[in-house]
């Protein structure tokens, strides 16, 4: 197997060959496609190429011309995210979002297969007959939380640290609560200087910065509650199974997340957590108070989430679908348009 992506150097790890690509934010997207295509042809890769980076969207059709099968893997609704990012310029946002979707749709149709992260994306790419492949954690990602002996009540958030992900609203909610032993642990990159200043100086917030994925369990095992309060943006409204929520469930801690339809269905109705208006600090504070004061409720929600993770929402349950797709495509021989007849 060969993996291409931003990496320090070409090397082999556990039998997987890593081909480094240009990963700098200053490098134009078109140049990433050129470099990726050249290295894909130069590397000893198999007949199936699976890529995630939307900058490489035209890589699929090019690789098919070179006699390989390509899989376009969609983790986000990039059309909706583009509208959010350009929301101050609504006409421009609409035009560019439509242009992107037209390009993405054509590239997806020209790829050998399309993989999507959830049902909402599956509906969007329905004409491509996509495979739904959720990026769930491995079963051994983390042991269940054990807060015995913890002197503080630990609320945890893991992910991009920004207002769009509701971090500031959680801090607002904490300011409304009287519990001096409450701590809000934030893990992830923060590029907002104002928000960073606030979370690094707040007496009840602990900002850890970026933490390696294989070290996250050290923080999850000490947590009482996990929060994922995505704001009401187009890119978030239709999300159903965010990876961070699955990580909270893996840790056996109750989830507090946004009251979007998909999240209510996935989190609240089965009893894995509580949904709340993500832009209402008072409502968020009430939910945190309720969980602070009700250890039995926390245990019930957390245990239900952990059971669901162990039985259904783990990578071991998803892996056969991906391997099956690889096998199906690999069995279909393709011929390069540049090869001799």
For residue 217, give the CATH number of its domain.
Answer: 3.40.50.2000
CA pair distance 337, 341, nearest whole angstrom: 9
Count of structural domains, the chain: 2
Confirm whether 234 is domain-assigned.
Answer: yes
Positions of E strands within the chain: 2-6, 11-13, 16-21, 48-51, 69-74, 113-116, 131-132, 153-158, 182-187, 205-209, 225-228, 255-258, 273-276
Residues 132 and 164 in one domain: no
3-class secondary-structure state, position 2? strand
Plot region of 206 (φ>0 → left; ψ -120 to 50 → alpha; else → beta): beta
Q: Give the tens place of pLDDT for each residue, 121-167.
A: 999 999 999 999 998 999 999 999 999 999 999 999 999 999 999 99
Instruction: List the one residue out of 51, 59, 63 whose CA is nearest residue 114.
Output: 51
Strands 16-21 and 11-13 come out as antiparallel
Average pLDDT along the chain: 88
The pLDDT value given to residue 57: 80
Q: Give the tens place of pLDDT for each residue, 94-107.
A: 999 999 999 999 99
Residues 51 and 131 in one domain: yes
Domain that holds residue 323: 46-136+316-330
The pLDDT value given to residue 341: 43
pTM of the model: 0.87
Contact 5, 59 (CB under 8 A): no
Instruction: List the one residue out of 231, 208, 232 whose CA is nearest residue 157.
Output: 208
CA pair distance 73, 134, nearest whole angstrom: 11
What is the torsion angle, in degrees rounded to the nearest 10, for the CA atoms of residue 155, residue 219, residue 228 and residue 7? 150
The pLDDT value given to residue 340: 46
The pLDDT value given to residue 55: 76
The pLDDT value given to residue 218: 97
CA pair distance 1, 239, nearest whole angstrom: 31
CA pair distance 72, 70, nearest whole angstrom: 7
Positions of E strands within 167-252: 182-187, 205-209, 225-228
Residues 104 and 169 in one domain: no
The pLDDT value given to residue 331: 87
Residues 274 and 326 in one domain: no
Confirm whether 148 is domain-assigned.
Answer: no
Please identify which residue in the block is written with the tokens 């297969």.
Answer: 113
The pLDDT value given to residue 7: 64
Residues 186 and 297 in one domain: yes
The pLDDT value given to residue 338: 46
Confirm whether 113 is domain-assigned.
Answer: yes
Confirm whether 71 is domain-assigned.
Answer: yes
Residues 180 and 308 in one domain: yes
C-alpha dist (Å) from residue 64 to 31, 55, 68, 168: 19, 17, 5, 45
Residues 179 and 132 in one domain: no
The pLDDT value given to residue 270: 97
Which parts of the chain register pLDDT below 50?
A: 337-338, 340-341
Confirm whether 24 is domain-assigned.
Answer: no
Confirm whether 2 is domain-assigned.
Answer: no
Return the H-helix or E-strand segment holding 40: helix 29-42
- The dihedral sign for the CA sequence 102, 107, 110, 111: negative
Return the H-helix or E-strand segment holding 218: helix 217-220
CA pair distance 234, 200, nearest whole angstrom: 29
Confirm whether 27 is domain-assigned.
Answer: no
């Amino acid at each position: 197997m060969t993996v291409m992506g931003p990496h320090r150097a070409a090397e082999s790890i556990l039998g997987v060959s890593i081909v480094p690509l240009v990963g700098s934010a200053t490098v134009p997207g078109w140049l990433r496609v050129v470099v990726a295509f050249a290295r894909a042809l130069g590397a000893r890769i198999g007949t199936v190429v699976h890529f995630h980076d939307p900058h490489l969207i035209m890589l699929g059709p090019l690789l098919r011309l070179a006699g390989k099968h390509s899989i376009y893997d969609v983790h986000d609704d990039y059309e909706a995210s583009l509208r959010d990012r350009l929301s101050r310029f609504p006409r421009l946002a609409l035009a560019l979002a439509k242009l992107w979707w037209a390009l993405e749709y054509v590239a997806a149709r020209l790829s050998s297969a399309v993989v999507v992260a959830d049902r909402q994306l599956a509906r969007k790419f329905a004409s491509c007959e996509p495979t739904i492949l959720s990026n769930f954690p491995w079963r051994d990602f983390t042991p269940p939380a054990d807060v015995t002996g913890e002197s503080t009540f630990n609320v945890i958030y893991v992910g991009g640290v920004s207002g769009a992900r509701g971090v500031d609203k959680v801090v607002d909610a904490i300011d409304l609560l009287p519990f001096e032993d409450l701590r809000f642990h934030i893990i992830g990159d923060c590029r907002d200087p104002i928000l960073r200043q606030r979370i690094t100086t707040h007496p009840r917030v602990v900002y850890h910065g970026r933490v390696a994925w294989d070290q996250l369990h050290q923080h999850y095992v000490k947590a009482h509650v996990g929060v994922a309060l995505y704001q009401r943006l187009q890119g978030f409204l239709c999300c159903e199974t965010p990876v961070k929520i699955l990580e909270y469930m893996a840790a056996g801690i109750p989830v507090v997340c946004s009251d979007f339809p998909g999240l209510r269905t996935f989190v609240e109705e089965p009893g894995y957590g509580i949904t709340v208006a993500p832009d209402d600090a008072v409502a968020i504070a009430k939910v945190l108070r309720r969980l602070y004061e009700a250890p039995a409720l926390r245990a019930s929600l957390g245990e239900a989430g952990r059971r669901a993770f162990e039985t259904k929402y783990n990578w071991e349950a998803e892996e056969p679908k991906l391997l099956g797709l690889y096998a199906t495509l690999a069995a279909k021989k393709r011929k390069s348009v540049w090869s001799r007849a």
